[in-house]
């Protein structure tokens, strides 16, 4: 687990303040790993990807293999059983690559603090490029968080606008 | 003597529906259960005793307790196959061995934890395994011939982590077994000596698709332990959230099924309706996934007085959108043909694994605890439908239940009016209680023991183990590409399984 070191490539990092770089890797490909939680963040990711949020229009898409991913997207509080799986996924990704944590559990364990089976999130173990807090964050929170990588704002649909303010969450990137 | 009388012949305890048996009586109970249809709920350990919970009549618990001597107890799995999951969990957490158990493989401890037997009086050493979990195949799997394949726990999808190990011949699965434990968070340990409100928050995050059911059942159990019952208004408010959770979870499942079956238009319509409902409901309830709405003694909604109006708005939207959605589902080219005949869950399998909920209802089972709940009087009625147990039937039942729950919500609206719900103050005295809610995938039952103003022990039962047994049983003969469809249709959730 200690081997996981999530860093954006220098060129990737420089571009974040302006616009997402166009090119062969457009859109930004995300590989999701649930590392052991209640599944709520995964449900909201599915709602984001398949509901009326136009995630792909905003430039993001999920892939089914880490070899085709730009970013590893984690949900869940990281069990010891999932740690080697997460590490294998990270190693299989091409560089440049980054790490995004969605939900309080993925960041610092949230309600599931460290115990005999849980590491309690990844924030004290690896560098996180983007944290999208919430329990769980709404699809719009997640999309706003993703767009913040490129200083964009998501175009909220009617449904998404109506839910604004439902969940307390915050987004930080580093 | 039947099993109920046998248990009631045991030594009474301070809890009126729980009886203490000695080891010989427990063995006789196991033998008696082989010829008795007494519904089994679950088995758990509290470190000193083993408890087996049954439900002889709707909403009437009956428990047998056995002192755990020398770390062993007679297994119930020879009489109730699903008990093997509880026995394996008890061994992993407490090191208590189920004698004559039908399956003794690890369930959640794969030698990677900081302690083995973490809840035993003296926990064991840390596990040696630092790598991926290795599959421990059963004898049947080792004997199967074909190509070994695997799926999960990280597929890039949105589902909770579970590994499915298979032996395939071409694209056809010949034998399949699952490896669980990837999402084990140690809920039993977290609940132990926890504050009641914090324990309630934990129960809401056991399995996100069924948060409302978990918290409603947990709160009922606490109220039962306190000898209290919430008022009619609070019960009705909880019903609205429970039914809304059923609607949104079923729409979510239907959308996933349609997408996995290639019917993307149907999937987007299901998801659009779900999102439209949540856009109205979430600002009133305070959570999209119906978390933290139910608290011991009452409800905790963002805008309780608007719940009646919310029901009316949902009913209006449903009248406009639900009938066309049903028509689309039934007439969409190829969808019915894609799902027909897949992964049949027959009534004999249902009986063997003790599965309830919509999966059982699609296979002919008449199991819906709402029928016996006083709060549902005049609201719930038997929902007929196709009962052949195929994947298509399960989808049809889910779609029917969406309509039924929308009807219940519409009926509840005028009853709520501007109700603020009210709340009873609970005094947490020592005691035990049970609570039950019919969740989206079946009954969610909590047993809670309070001690010194805190939660001492919690046992939770949901349909997850039974669903997993059914999943493993129906996979042989299916195409390997249909694993996702079948898993979705059975509601197999690693979060619900692993605890």
Is the CB of B132 less than 8 angstroms away from the CB of A84?
yes
Query: Is residue B293 located within the same domain as residue B431?
Result: yes
CB B21 within 8 A of CB B68: no
pLDDT over 70 for what percent of chain B?
98
ipTM: 0.94
Give bridge partners of residue B460 from the DSSP assignment: B446
- Tell me which residue has tokens 């609070």: B234
Residue of A nearest to B110 (CA): A81
Q: Provide the CA B268 distance to its chain's centre, in angstroms.
A: 27
Residue of B nearest to A64 (CA): B156
pLDDT at A162: 41
Say how many CB pairs under 8 Å bridge A and B. Answer: 182
- Confidence band for B379, pLDDT divided at 50, 70 and 90: confident
Identify whether B104 is part of a domain: no
Identify whether B306 is part of a domain: yes
By the 10 Å C-beta count (0-12 exposed, 13-18 middle, 19+ buried), B435 is classed as buried
Contacts of B291 in chain A (CB under 8 A): 40, 135
- Tell me which residue has tokens 């999932």: A82
- Confidence band for A157, pLDDT divided at 50, 70 and 90: very low
Give me the domain span that covers residue B27. Answer: 3-99
Identify whether B279 is part of a domain: yes
Contacts of B188 in chain A (CB under 8 A): none
Is the CB of A81 less than 8 angstroms away from the CB of B181?
yes
Summary mean pLDDT of chain B: 94
Identify whether B434 is part of a domain: yes
User: How many helices (H) and strands (E) are present in chain A, helices listed first?
Assistant: 6, 6
Does B73 have pLDDT greater than 60?
yes
B147-151 vs B97-99, strand pairing mode:
unpaired
Q: Provide the CA B477 distance to its chain's centre, in angstroms.
A: 26
Range of lowest pLDDT (A163-172, B76-85, B329-338): A163-172
pLDDT at A11: 38
Is the CB of B154 less than 8 angstroms away from the CB of A80?
no
Range of lowest pLDDT (B73-82, B111-120, B282-291, B409-418): B409-418
Contacts of A35 in chain B (CB under 8 A): 161
- How many domains does chain B fold into? 2
Summary mean pLDDT of chain A: 81
Alpha-helical regions (H) of A4-157: 10-15, 40-50, 83-92, 104-108, 139-148
Identify whether B350 is part of a domain: yes
Is the CB of A138 less than 8 angstroms away from the CB of B288?
yes
Identify whether B145 is part of a domain: no
pTM of the full predicted structure?
0.92
The contacts of residue B186 (CB under 8 Å, 6+ apart) are A115, A116, A117, A118, B118, B499
Q: How far A46 CA sits from the closest chain B CA (Å)?
A: 6
| Mean of pLDDT values over B122-131 | 88
Contacts of B157 in chain A (CB under 8 A): 32, 64
pLDDT in tens, B135-149: 888 888 999 999 999
Preferred mutation among B160, B210, B277 to probe A, highest tally of A CBs within 10 A: B160
Print burial letters for B198-236: b (CB count within 10 Å at least 16), e (below 16).
ebbbbbbbbbbbbbbbbbbbbbbbbbbbbeeebeebbbb
Write the DSSP string, A35-73. Answer: -SS-SHHHHHHHHHHHSTT-TTTTTEEE-SSGGG-SEEE
CB B302 within 8 A of CB A168: no
Residue of B nearest to A111 (CA): B202
CB interface of A with B, residues 86-125, below 8 Å: 86, 88-89, 111-112, 115-118
Is the CB of B190 less than 8 angstroms away from the CB of A162?
no
Is the CB of B154 less than 8 angstroms away from the CB of A135?
no
Name the residue facing B153 among A66, A80, A85 (closest C-beta): A85
pLDDT at A152: 56
| Mean of pLDDT values over B108-114 | 95
pLDDT in tens, B147-172: 999 998 999 999 999 999 999 999 99
Cβ count within 10 A of residue B476: 15
Contacts of A40 in chain B (CB under 8 A): 205, 208, 211, 289, 291
Identify whether B477 is part of a domain: no
CB interface of A with B, residues 53-92, below 8 Å: 62-66, 69, 76-77, 79-86, 88-89
pLDDT in tens, A65-76: 999 999 999 999
Cα distance between residue B394 and residue B155, in whole Å: 24
The contacts of residue B89 (CB under 8 Å, 6+ apart) are B107, B108, B499
Cα distance between residue B157 and residue B140, in whole Å: 30
* CA distances to B56, B61, B227, B229, B459 from B15, in Å: 17, 11, 12, 17, 15
pLDDT in tens, B404-423: 999 999 999 998 866 667 78
Last residue of a domain, one of B59, B78, B99: B99
Is the CB of A84 less than 8 angstroms away from the CB of B130?
yes
pLDDT at A174: 53
Cα distance between residue B117 and residue B121, in whole Å: 9
Preferred mutation among A33, A45, A50, A68 to probe B, highest tally of B CBs within 10 A: A50
Name the residue facing B278 among A45, A112, A163 (closest C-beta): A163
Give bridge partners of residue B53 from the DSSP assignment: B42, B63
pLDDT at A25: 52
Name the residue facing B182 among A63, A69, A81 (closest C-beta): A81
Q: How far A150 CA sits from the closest chain B CA (Å)?
A: 23
Contacts of B278 in chain A (CB under 8 A): 159, 163
Higher pLDDT, B283 or A166: B283
- Confidence band for B69, pLDDT divided at 50, 70 and 90: confident
Q: Give the domain CATH number at B49.
A: 3.30.460.80
pLDDT at A173: 55
CB interface of A with B, residues 144-163, below 8 Å: 158-160, 162-163
Higher pLDDT, B448 or A19: B448
Angle, vertex CA B125, rays to CA B121 and CA B131, nearest 5? 135
Query: Is residue B71 located within the same domain as residue B208?
Result: no
Name the residue facing A62 among B156, B181, B493 (closest C-beta): B156
pLDDT at B87: 98
The continuous run of DSSP H or E covering B448 comes out as strand B442-451
Nearest to B274 by CA among A47, A162, A135: A47
Does A10 have pLDDT greater than 60?
no
Nearest to A54 by CA among A170, A168, A159: A159
Query: Is residue B73 located within the same domain as residue B203?
Result: no
Q: Give the domain CATH number at B395.
A: 1.10.645.10
Is the CB of A36 less than 8 angstroms away from the CB of B115?
no
Name the residue facing A33 among B154, B185, B206 (closest C-beta): B154
By the 10 Å C-beta count (0-12 exposed, 13-18 middle, 19+ buried), B453 is classed as exposed
Tokens linked to B96: 């208590």
Cα distance between residue B183 and residue B37, in whole Å: 33
The continuous run of DSSP H or E covering B167 comes out as strand B163-169
Q: Provide the CA B112 distance to its chain's centre, in angstroms.
A: 26
Identify whether B396 is part of a domain: yes
| Domains with residue ranges and CATH for chain A | 34-173 (3.40.50.12280)
pLDDT in tens, A99-155: 999 999 999 999 999 999 999 999 988 999 999 999 999 999 999 999 998 865 555
Does A24 have pLDDT greater than 80?
no
| Mean of pLDDT values over B477-482 | 96
Give bridge partners of residue B432 from the DSSP assignment: B449
Contacts of B190 in chain A (CB under 8 A): 112, 115
Is the CB of A39 less than 8 angstroms away from the CB of B268?
no
pLDDT at A170: 52
Q: Measured on CA atoms in the order B441, B446, B284, B408, is the torsion positive or negative?
A: positive
Print burial letters for A26-59: b (CB count within 10 Å at least 16), e (below 16).
eebbbbbbbbbbbbbbbbbbbbbbbbbbebeebb
Write the DSSP string, B458-494. Answer: EEEE-THHHHHHHHHHH-TTSBGGGHHHHHHHHT--H
pLDDT at B325: 98
Preferred mutation among B158, B204, B444 to probe A, highest tally of A CBs within 10 A: B158
pLDDT at A13: 43
Q: Measured on CA atoms in the order A92, A98, A101, A107, is the torsion positive or negative?
A: positive
């Amino acid at each position: 687990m200690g081997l996981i070191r999530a860093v954006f490539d220098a060129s990737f990092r420089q571009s974040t303040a302006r616009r997402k770089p166009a090119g062969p890797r457009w859109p930004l490909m995300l590989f999701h790993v649930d590392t052991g939680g209640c599944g709520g963040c995964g449900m909201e990711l599915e709602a984001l990807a398949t509901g009326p949020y136009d995630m792909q229009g905003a430039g993001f898409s999920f892939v089914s293999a880490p070899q085709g991913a730009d970013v590893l997207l984690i949900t869940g509080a990281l069990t010891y059983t999932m740690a080697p799986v997460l590490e294998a996924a990270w190693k299989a990704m091409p560089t440049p690559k980054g790490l995004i944590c969605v939900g309080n559990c993925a960041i610092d364990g949230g309600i599931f603090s460290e115990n005999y089976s849980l590491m309690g999130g990844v924030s004290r173990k690896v560098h996180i490029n983007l944290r999208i807090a919430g329990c769980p964050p709404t699809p719009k929170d997640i999309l706003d968080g993703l767009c913040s990588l490129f200083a964009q704002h998501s175009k909220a649909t009617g449904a998404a606008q109506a839910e604004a303010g439902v969940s307390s969450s915050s987004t930080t990137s580093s | 003597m039947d099993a109920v009388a046998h248990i009631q012949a045991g030594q009474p305890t301070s809890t009126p529906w729980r009886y203490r048996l000695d080891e010989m009586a427990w063995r006789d109970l196991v033998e008696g259960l082989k010829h008795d249809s007494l519904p089994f709920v679950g088995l758990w350990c509290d470190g000193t005793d083993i408890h087996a919970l049954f439900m002889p009549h709707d909403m009437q618990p009956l428990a047998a307790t056995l002192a755990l001597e020398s770390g062993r107890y007679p297994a119930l799995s020879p009489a109730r196959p699903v008990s093997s999951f509880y026995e394996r969990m008890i061994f992993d957490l407490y090191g208590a061995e189920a004698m004559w158990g039908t399956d003794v493989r690890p369930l959640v401890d794969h030698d990677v934890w900081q302690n083995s037997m973490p809840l035993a009086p003296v926990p064991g050493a840390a596990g040696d395994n630092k790598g991926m979990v290795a599959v421990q195949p059963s004898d049947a799997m080792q004997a199967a011939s074909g190509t070994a394949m695997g799926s999960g726990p990280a597929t890039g999808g949105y589902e909770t982590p579970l590994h499915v190990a298979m032996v395939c011949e071409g694209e056809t699965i010949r034998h399949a077994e699952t490896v669980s434990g990837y999402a084990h968070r140690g809920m039993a340990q977290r609940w132990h000596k926890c504050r009641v409100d914090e324990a309630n928050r934990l129960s809401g995050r056991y399995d996100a698709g069924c948060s409302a059911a978990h918290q409603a059942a947990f709160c009922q159990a606490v109220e039962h332990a306190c000898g209290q019952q919430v008022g009619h208004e609070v019960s009705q408010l909880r019903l609205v959230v429970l039914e809304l959770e059923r609607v949104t979870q079923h729409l979510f499942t239907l959308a996933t099924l349609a997408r996995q079956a290639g019917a993307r238009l149907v999937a987007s319509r299901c998801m659009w309706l779900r999102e439209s409902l949540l856009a109205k409901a979430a600002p009133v309830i305070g959570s999209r996934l119906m978390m933290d709405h139910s608290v011991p003694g009452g409800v905790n909604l963002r805008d309780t007085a608007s719940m009646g109006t919310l029901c009316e708005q949902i009913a209006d939207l449903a009248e406009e959108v639900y009938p066309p959605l049903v028509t689309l589902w039934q007439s969409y080219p190829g969808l019915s043909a894609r799902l027909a005949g897949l992964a049949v869950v027959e009534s004999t399998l249902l009986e063997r694994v003790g599965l309830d909920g919509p999966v059982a209802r699609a296979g002919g089972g008449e199991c819906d605890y709402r029928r016996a709940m006083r709060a549902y009087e005049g609201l719930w009625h038997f929902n007929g439908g196709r009962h052949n147990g195929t994947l298509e039937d399960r989808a049809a039942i889910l779609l029917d239940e969406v309509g039924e729950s929308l009807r219940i919500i519409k009926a509840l609206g005028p009853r709520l009016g501007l109700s603020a719900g009210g709340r009873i103050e609970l005094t947490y005295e020592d005691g035990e209680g049970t609570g039950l809610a019919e969740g989206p995938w079946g009954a969610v039952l909590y047993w809670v023991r309070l001690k010194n103003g805190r939660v001492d022990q919690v046992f939770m039962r949901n349909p997850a183990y039974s669903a997993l047994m059914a999943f493993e049983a129906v996979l042989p003969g299916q195409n390997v590409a249909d694993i996702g469809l079948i898993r979705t249709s059975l509601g197999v959730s690693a979060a619900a399984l692993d605890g």
